[in-house]
Amino acid sequence: MISPTSSSMELSGVGSYIMRTTPSVAVLANALASYALVSDYSKVAVCSDSSSSASSSFARQFVTEIIKDSGEILPVECDFAREDLNPIPIIEQAIAQNADALLLAPSLGKNYRAIAIAQANQQRLPLLGNHSLYTYETIHGKEAVAGMVLAAPWLPEATPNNDFERSTIKFWGGKVNWRTAMAYDAAKAIVEGLKQSDTRAQLQSAMTQLDFQVDGATGKFRFKQGDRAGKVQLAYIAPPDQNHSKYWFAKLNINGKIK
C-alpha cells in the first residue's frame, strides 16, 4: 500500500509493505515550527483534534520542536473533537496570555471549526496551519485566514514550468492541490517498481532499495523506511491580486517573509 495523504507518525515503520508519498508529520511539523521560531513566535497556543492520529501527531511534534528551542506552549484548551467548542473564549484566552501566534491543526473533517476560530480571531493573532487546511474550504474564510502560514507537501510554484502542473490545468481546467500530486506520485512509484518486479515481494524489494528513485509531480524522490524522503514547502494564504481573482495559496519566500 502506498498512501498519498496519511501523515500520521503511527504509520512510520508499521509494516514493510506500507509506504507513503506524503512526508511524515514530523517533517511537516518541524518545518512549520522552524518558521514560527525564526518569526519570533515564542509563545504559541495550539488547537488540535484529539480524535485524529494525524492531527495529534502534528501538534505533538510541533510542540516538541517549539519547546526544544526554548519556546513556550500556552495552556489554552482547544480541542476540535469537542462538540461544545467555542472559538471566542479560545481567542480571548490566547490573547490574555500574550500569545505570539495560534496553531490550527485540525483533521480534515474538522476544518470548518478551525475556520470558525480564525474568524473569531479577526486577524489579532498570526495563524499557523497544518497541511489539512490546504483546501478550497479554507480559502473561503477569506480575510479571516489571510496571511496564515501552512506546511504543504507540494506547491505548484515550487517547481516552475512543471509538466505535471501544466497537464493538470489542461485536463481539469484549473490548479490541483498537494493531494492530487501525491496520488500521482504514488501511482508513478508503483509503475516504476513494476518495471523491476513480477511479484508482490519483488515489488516491495525494488521500492525499498536505496537507489530506487521516481520522477514524479514533485521532481525526483525516493522512500526511506517507507516514508517519503525530501523537503516540504511552506505556503501562506494571499489576498487577490492582479494575477488572482480570489484568495490563494502562495509559496512563502525563502527568507520566510510574506509578500
In order of their start, the domains of the chain are: 25-157+232-251 (3.40.50.2300), 159-229 (no CATH)
C-alpha grid cell for residue 216?
514524479
Computed over its alpha carbons, how large is the radius of gyration of the chain?
Answer: 19
Distant-in-sequence, close-in-space partners of 77: CB < 8 Å, separation ≥ 6: 90, 93
Residue 62 gets which letter from DSSP? H
Distant-in-sequence, close-in-space partners of 53: CB < 8 Å, separation ≥ 6: 8, 9, 10
**How many other C-beta atoms lie within 10 A of the C-beta of residue 133?**
28
* Separation CA 141–CA 237 (nearest Å): 10
Per-residue pLDDT tens digits of the chain, which is 259 residues long: 888 887 766 666 667 888 888 888 888 999 999 999 999 999 999 999 999 988 998 999 999 999 999 999 999 999 999 999 999 999 999 999 999 999 999 998 999 999 999 999 999 999 999 999 999 899 999 999 999 999 988 887 776 677 888 888 888 888 888 889 899 999 999 999 999 998 999 999 999 898 999 988 878 888 888 888 777 889 999 999 887 888 999 989 755 555 4
Helix axis angle for 111-121 and 87-96, nearest 10°, is 50
φ/ψ of residue 7, rounded to 5? -120, 0
* Separation CA 182–CA 196 (nearest Å): 22
State pTM to two decimals. Answer: 0.86
* Separation CA 87–CA 81 (nearest Å): 13
